[in-house]
Structure 1
Amino acid sequence: MAAKLFTLSLAMTSITCYSQHTYPTTKKVEHSDDYFGVTVSDPYRWLEDDRSEDTKDWVEREVTFTNDYLGKIPFREEIRNQLRDKWNYEKISAPFEEGDYVYYYKNNGLQAQSVLYRKDKTGKEEVFLDPNKFSAQGTTSLSNLSFNKKGTLAAYAISEGGSDWNKIIIIDAVTKQQIGDTLVDIKFSGIAWQGDEGFYYSSYDKPQGSELSAKTDTHKVYFHKLGTKQKEDQLIIGGDDFKRRYLGAYLSDDERFLIVSASNTTYGNELYIKDLKNKTDFITIQKGYDCSSGVIDTKGDFIYVLTDKNAPNNKLQKFDINQPEKWIDVISETENVLTVSTGGGYIFAKYMKDALSYVRQLDYNGALIRTIELPGNGTAGGFGGKLKQKDLYYSFTNYITPGTIYKFNVETGKSEVYQQPNVKFNPADYVSEQVFYTSKDGTKIPMMISYKKGIKLDGKNPTILYSYGGFNISLQPSFSVVNAIWMENGGIYAVPNIRGGGEYGKKWHDAGTKMEKKNVFEDFIAAGEYLQKKGYTSKEYMAISGRSNGGLLVGATMTMRPDLAKVAFPGVGVLDMLRYNKFTAGAGWAYDYGTAEDSREMFEYLKSYSPVHNVKKGTCYPSTMIITSDHDDRVVPAHSFKFGAELQDKQGCNNPILVRIEVNAGHGAGRSTEQVIGENADLISFALYEIGIRKLK
């Protein structure tokens, strides 16, 4: 498809000449809560009840209003067709070996879900699992898959409509026939096989009330023995005698050690190890939640652990299971953040410098074998495999380089292209540059700015400013078809690596948590101001976007600085900061946010930026499309419903407030290709329309 260029209509007054919007009527109720003697009204509390007829009726009316508005955008279908056209290329994952087969995922272009294929030793290809046959609409996805060590048995988890509640199905991996009953009500779980006997998994008791929104806070690890009923599964750890919000169980590669990570928030964990060979009880390796540690491999009696204990950028240590208190450095901490993988008998140290990757290959004593030459500046992932595997695989991508898979030989250090996608996109026509700007308090922040060559810095470029800023999550460069369409048509895509993320380790994360959370919003605001000052864009041409914690980022930014941008996209956001911890696993986010019950000071701080509580009557807010899903049981849709109701009631100008509600979808994972294309077609179309574009040329 030929590149498109945006053109503004001759009558620029159309930007401000909307008719007054008639939003769906939203009732208010008399409800308030007391926090440390402060009364806080909550007139839309009724929207938290996802099972009520009133809420369902409101949702239907909001969906109709949103669809009617989006339906008037003249180029909406053209954008959708552009996305479909560019999305339609074959996508193949890195292969992995299990038993006598080599497995890989493949999507022929527009399939709702990727299909898992395999080849035998003769090279014969067959479909192993096709998630597109799990449901008629393609909204049931494959969320987990695990094989036993011999590759003869497999268990896979499915998510229906994007829910975090999963089912596990067990099959004979050779014949592909199901074995035994389907396990149900599984949530936040791995699948760890122990020989041919069965596997460990994690779940919660089914909550009373709404499965979508009811709190889940007592995780349990079970062992499921093949051939038995789920109700007979053995409780290994968890429950009232060992109450933890999150419990994850996994086995060492030699199946000698059962390792359990226990935590109550999304940061900090305890470690417990059971020596199955010597039949010990669980040995306490790390108690308390002051640091995060994870076992990455074992060698005989030695356990290798990646930890940030006294090392904010992480280090790799090891200890003898017989002396678990004596930890020895294998890879010491450096100025750059470390993650680790293993394969082929080696350790791969993957570092992040200013959000960009570099990788070193080491032996198990930490001695350097080589620094791996990557294809360029961007993000490298992979370098994992089995002990005897000599060819490993890694991916490389950045904002203008489609993800390419490379085969890497662990002995020679040579890389070769294994799978290069045939995307209708020419990286040579684009620029992706890294800049550094200064936030309100003087902190230096990196930002990647990507765009088509030849743009003029005249302040009139449509720009999406996207970020996340939380939970130690790092935004490293990666290619996206959606961003390709945006840039191909003259748009700029900018991503600042703001505080709260993990780009510079634990200190960077902590600088955006609890009473420091506003640093995150100030970093984001400063990024927008930088783009406008340097002429990349201006207020009238800029959209701000983020999802989940990034939805909070957008919601807080637009209520703190409604004049910063023309358009806002708070996606599946945490928007009621006084009540987020009341739903599903929300209480586990308290490390980042704190809760309104912690103290008067914490309550007041949360209330001061909580998007739902900071919408002011008569203020002109950006044209806003709030994005949520009816099956989101991670960040319940009530956040978005209440924020939308507040904005529609108090909006002080004719900028529209839409609430886009995806049906049969959850927090984001597992959505069908058509759902993803549909949402992004609406996002791009709405952004362009609201900044004044009336036709594509």
Structure 2
Amino acid sequence: MIQTVNFPKLFPPTQRPLPRRWVNAVCLFGVLLSLVGCRNGSTLEEQGDAVQKIRITYPDIFRDTTRVDVYHGKKIADPYHWLEIGDSPWVQDWLEAQRNLTANYLSYLPQRSALQERLRKLWDHERYEAPVQRGAYYYHLKNDGLQDQAVLYRSRGLYGKLDTVFNPNTAGIGQLHDYSFSPNGRWAAIQHAEAGSDWQQVSVIDLRTGELREDRLDHLKYSNLAWYGNGFFYSRYPAPNAWELRELNEFHQLYYHRLGRQQEEDALIFADRIHPQRNVYGETTADGRYLVISLHEGPDGNAVYFKDAGQEDTDFTPIYSDFAYSFRLVGNQGRQLYFLTNYGAPNGRIMRVDVRYPQPEYWEEIIPQQEDVLADGQLTGGRFITTYLHNAVSEMKLFDLEGKLLREISLEGKGTILKPIVSPESSEAFFTYTSFTQPESIYRLDLRELTVEVYRTPEIDFNSEAYTTRQIWYESYDGQRVPMFIIHRKGIDLDGSNPTLLVGDGSLQHLVLPQFNLSGIHLFPAFLERGGICAVANIRGGGEFGKKWYDSGSGDQKQTAFDDFQAAAEYLIANKYTTAKQLGIYGRSTGGLLVGVSLTQRPELYAAAVPEAGILDMLRYHRFTTGWTWSTDYGTSERPEDFEELLRYSPLHNIKADAYPATLVLTREKDDRAVPVHSYKFVSELQAKQEGDAPILIRVDREGGHDGLLTINDKIEEGADVLAFLWYHLGT
């Protein structure tokens, strides 16, 4: 039970939290000036060693010492609770002061302009996604290089001339998230959003003309679009009262939209009125015969039901109605449904379910569990296309309908196969392959001949051959061996003098696999080119090694994941890759939590930290939007046994007076998943308790959401800011 003690009026006139002040800097020539006025006709690049003398003073931030929450008899101060009121004038004052502080500091960092130019070149190359075949056409998503969003094209034949179908950059629809093509190739439903929000809208493209139909759906969040007949199934929450970050999203529901009708006329297909914190997702089988729904309470485990897609008034039949294991539809052959599941198989297997006898005692195992994790599976053309993770590296295997292995496909290097694109009844499939040093190449898989060929390879100004990737295994604090990828220029001297960037996650079964643009802002390629070392630790709590690996780093074992990450840092130092003065850490979302925990538990171990869109207030995270979906991993402060564990590692609640590493927190005002108040509170407390000289800064973008910024220019600027910050504070 949580109660609030002595919460006064928010801000009496005499207690405005943010008098607006410019940040001060101390320049080498001994004159105390504001950062804005510190230029004196020169830049820090021209001032040379003068940059080493920069000191900053932080804005005065109102601490509400009367705000105290009581958790199970224990009082916990929440002095920055007022920052949760995001649209208040006091929070806007706070944001303005913090933006001034950060912008002025970053403007003086050496190499920032050069990094912007380099990142622009890294982005400036043609990028394709794997094509989708519908009817007589192949549909291609292509970005010329510096376009904000890829344009939809189509061609007759795989190598035919590309004709423009739809350009989201000029359509006035905001940020496009996904396309879903109707089986007959007549329509494409698209999900899009304003300002990067998780709240989605749906529009429908007439693929013959490229024009948008009048169909328009609102208030989708976390939804598939599953075509059936002349329409599709989709998921949504009830409409929010307003765009409000603090409002919980509950009672997820499944609807069917028939083209040409208003959303108010859509048929409600499934709603759970008893359990508000369950999400529902609908899929249709490739032959359009069955509707399969899965219910989720979190990332680990789901219930699964089915029904005849055309029978609106019939009930769903359960296949599995508990939440202990996960089930993912792979495909069907007539009445036989196939699922990838970890039921009785922590590493995953494929099971066959006859819709006439869906009870577990009648299930048939088709592809047994193997030593490697079964990460993905699809059924098409009478073949199972499966992707396994061997020590976090992708391998593809093809099986027939009875589970006989037909072929293993291994590609060069340590890389990742992204989800294959298949078309119903097609004899070919496409998939994308990438690694830490290799951009995404597209491959064509012939399902008749069981052959693989390169379809498209990008031309990019990056010398992949100059770098090497190796995987080592180090020992964590409890003796468990944990893998880590280490990427660097060939022939580099391992003398302990190398700036190093360490990345991880360790939550919600997230996979941190080899990808060229792992961060979304090209941190790794640009960092490597300047002589740095990049490292990725596949710590417990992730999904790289199956359910047991995840379980051992979640719940009351969560500290294990953080220990694994800190042990990785110690390994890099002990083995002469770097030193604590040259080691930086980066993570986004749940990886931001990892970074927040690491810098508060072991501040002496790192020189710089960048938590992006982090979950940092672990006592209140479940009270915002859909934060409750993470509770199966973390627990919640409402349960006494979870509260004590969360309090032990919650980054916000473990900041004490100490010397912390240089910290640049990244967030966005419109992030309605890991809401920005996590970052606001964390930075305020860290600035107040910083006893060292390193800066504590926050970069708050006005646009963009949890999945990133909206424009290429924004991504370039953010990437350059992060790289310049890291490069400067890692002793170079």
| TM more than 0.5 | yes
Residue aligning to 2:59: 24
C-alpha distance in 2, partners of 1:186/1:488?
A: 41
C-alpha distance in 2, partners of 1:108/1:449?
A: 31
Q: Does the Cα contact within 8 Å between 1:555 and 1:570 map onto a contact in 2?
A: yes
Residue aligning to 1:206: 239
Question: Does residue 653 of structure 2 align to residue 613 of structure 1?
Answer: yes
C-alpha distance in 1, partners of 2:420/2:727?
A: 40
Residue aligning to 1:591: 632
Q: Does the Cα contact within 8 Å between 1:134 and 1:141 map onto a contact in 2?
A: no
Moved more, 650-659 or 115-124: 115-124
Measured after TM superposition, the shift of residue 9 of structure 1 is: 10
Residue aligning to 2:492: 455
C-alpha distance in 1, partners of 2:403/2:247?
A: 46
Question: Does residue 297 of structure 2 align to residue 272 of structure 1?
Answer: no
Q: Does the Cα contact within 8 Å between 1:238 and 1:244 map onto a contact in 2?
A: no
Question: Does residue 713 of structure 2 align to residue 674 of structure 1?
Answer: yes
**Which one of 69, 73, 89 corresponds to residue 105 of structure 2?**
69
Q: Residues 451-600 of structure 1: matches in 2 within 5 Å? A: 451-480=488-517, 481-599=522-640
C-alpha distance in 2, partners of 1:475/1:265?
A: 19
C-alpha distance in 2, partners of 1:199/1:242?
A: 25
Measured after TM superposition, the shift of residue 427 of structure 1 is: 2.1
State the Cα deviation string for residues 23-46 of structure 1 (Å, max 9, x = none).
122111121111010000100001
Measured after TM superposition, the shift of residue 381 of structure 1 is: 2.6
Question: Does residue 149 of structure 2 align to residue 109 of structure 1?
Answer: no
State the Cα deviation string for residues 469-501 of structure 1 (Å, max 9, x = none).
111111111113431111111010000100000
Measured after TM superposition, the shift of residue 186 of structure 1 is: 1.3
Q: Does the Cα contact within 8 Å between 2:132 and 2:421 map onto a contact in 1?
A: no
Q: Does the Cα contact within 8 Å between 1:33 and 1:41 map onto a contact in 2?
A: yes
CA change 1:37–1:428 in 2 (3 A) is: same
C-alpha distance in 1, partners of 2:211/2:460?
A: 36
TM-score by length of 1: 0.94
Measured after TM superposition, the shift of residue 100 of structure 1 is: 2.7
Q: Residues 217-236 of structure 1: matches in 2 within 5 Å? A: 217-236=250-269
Residue aligning to 2:342: 308
Q: Does the Cα contact within 8 Å between 1:342 and 1:384 map onto a contact in 2?
A: no
Which secondary structure does the structure 2 equivalent of 1:131 belong to?
coil
CA change 1:592–1:12 in 2 (3 A) is: farther
Which secondary structure does the structure 2 equivalent of 1:676 belong to?
helix
C-alpha distance in 1, partners of 2:77/2:399?
A: 58
Residue aligning to 2:181: 147
CA change 1:422–1:105 in 2 (3 A) is: same
Measured after TM superposition, the shift of residue 335 of structure 1 is: 1.4
Measured after TM superposition, the shift of residue 351 of structure 1 is: 0.9
Which amino acid counterpart does residue 310 of structure 1 have in structure 2? G
Measured after TM superposition, the shift of residue 428 of structure 1 is: 1.9
Measured after TM superposition, the shift of residue 361 of structure 1 is: 0.7
Which secondary structure does the structure 2 equivalent of 1:584 belong to?
coil
Measured after TM superposition, the shift of residue 79 of structure 1 is: 0.7
Residue aligning to 2:91: 55
**Which one of 674, 679, 699 corresponds to residue 660 of structure 1?**
699
Q: Does the Cα contact within 8 Å between 1:141 and 1:670 map onto a contact in 2?
A: no
Which amino acid counterpart does residue 301 of structure 1 have in structure 2? R
C-alpha distance in 2, partners of 1:440/1:233?
A: 55
Which amino acid counterpart does residue 286 of structure 2 have in structure 1? D
Which secondary structure does the structure 2 equivalent of 1:655 belong to?
coil
Question: Does residue 405 of structure 2 align to residue 368 of structure 1?
Answer: yes
**Which one of 665, 685, 697 corresponds to residue 646 of structure 1?**
685
Measured after TM superposition, the shift of residue 675 of structure 1 is: 1.9
Residue aligning to 1:401: 438
State the Cα deviation string for residues 109-146 of structure 1 (Å, max 9, x = none).
111111111123693422222121245xxx92211211
C-alpha distance in 1, partners of 2:135/2:208?
A: 9
Higher relative CO (Cα under 8 Å, sequence separation at least 6) belongs to 1
Q: Does the Cα contact within 8 Å between 1:50 and 1:210 map onto a contact in 2?
A: no
Measured after TM superposition, the shift of residue 89 of structure 1 is: 0.9
State the Cα deviation string for residues 384-428 of structure 1 (Å, max 9, x = none).
412432232222221122221112212222222111111112222
C-alpha distance in 1, partners of 2:52/2:292?
A: 60
C-alpha distance in 2, partners of 1:88/1:177?
A: 28
C-alpha distance in 1, partners of 2:414/2:54?
A: 45
Question: Does residue 663 of structure 2 align to residue 624 of structure 1?
Answer: yes
C-alpha distance in 1, partners of 2:531/2:275?
A: 56
Q: Does the Cα contact within 8 Å between 1:33 and 1:42 map onto a contact in 2?
A: yes
Residue aligning to 1:287: 321
Which secondary structure does the structure 1 equivalent of 2:524 belong to?
helix
Question: Does residue 297 of structure 2 align to residue 257 of structure 1?
Answer: no
Question: Does residue 484 of structure 2 align to residue 444 of structure 1?
Answer: no
**Which one of 331, 344, 369 corresponds to residue 333 of structure 1?**
369
Q: Does the Cα contact within 8 Å between 2:130 and 2:421 map onto a contact in 1?
A: no
C-alpha distance in 2, partners of 1:155/1:200?
A: 11
Which amino acid counterpart does residue 281 of structure 1 have in structure 2? D
C-alpha distance in 1, partners of 2:603/2:309?
A: 58
Which amino acid counterpart does residue 326 of structure 2 have in structure 1? S
Residue aligning to 1:685: 724
Measured after TM superposition, the shift of residue 22 of structure 1 is: 1.4
Moved more, 554-563 or 355-364: 355-364
Measured after TM superposition, the shift of residue 209 of structure 1 is: 5.4
C-alpha distance in 2, partners of 1:670/1:116?
A: 21
C-alpha distance in 1, partners of 2:423/2:704?
A: 35
C-alpha distance in 2, partners of 1:171/1:387?
A: 21
Q: Does the Cα contact within 8 Å between 1:187 and 1:203 map onto a contact in 2?
A: yes
**Which one of 99, 109, 116 corresponds to residue 80 of structure 1?**
116
Measured after TM superposition, the shift of residue 568 of structure 1 is: 0.4
Question: Does residue 141 of structure 2 align to residue 93 of structure 1?
Answer: no
State the Cα deviation string for residues 325-347 of structure 1 (Å, max 9, x = none).
11100001111100212333210
State the Cα deviation string for residues 136-164 of structure 1 (Å, max 9, x = none).
xxx92211211221111221111211100
C-alpha distance in 2, partners of 1:74/1:16?
A: 11
Q: Does the Cα contact within 8 Å between 1:162 and 1:670 map onto a contact in 2?
A: yes
Residue aligning to 1:415: 452
Gaps in structure 2 of 5+ consecutive residues: 1-43
Which amino acid counterpart does residue 222 of structure 1 have in structure 2? Y
State the Cα deviation string for residues 603-629 of structure 1 (Å, max 9, x = none).
111011101111102x00000000101
Measured after TM superposition, the shift of residue 211 of structure 1 is: 2.7
Moved more, 460-469 or 274-283: 274-283
C-alpha distance in 1, partners of 2:227/2:562?
A: 43
C-alpha distance in 2, partners of 1:360/1:656?
A: 49
Measured after TM superposition, the shift of residue 210 of structure 1 is: 4.5
Which amino acid counterpart does residue 259 of structure 1 have in structure 2? V
Which secondary structure does the structure 1 equivalent of 2:287 belong to?
coil
Q: Does the Cα contact within 8 Å between 2:331 and 2:380 map onto a contact in 1?
A: no
Measured after TM superposition, the shift of residue 241 of structure 1 is: 5.1
Which secondary structure does the structure 2 equivalent of 1:127 belong to?
strand
Q: Does the Cα contact within 8 Å between 1:144 and 1:190 map onto a contact in 2?
A: no
C-alpha distance in 2, partners of 1:634/1:250?
A: 24
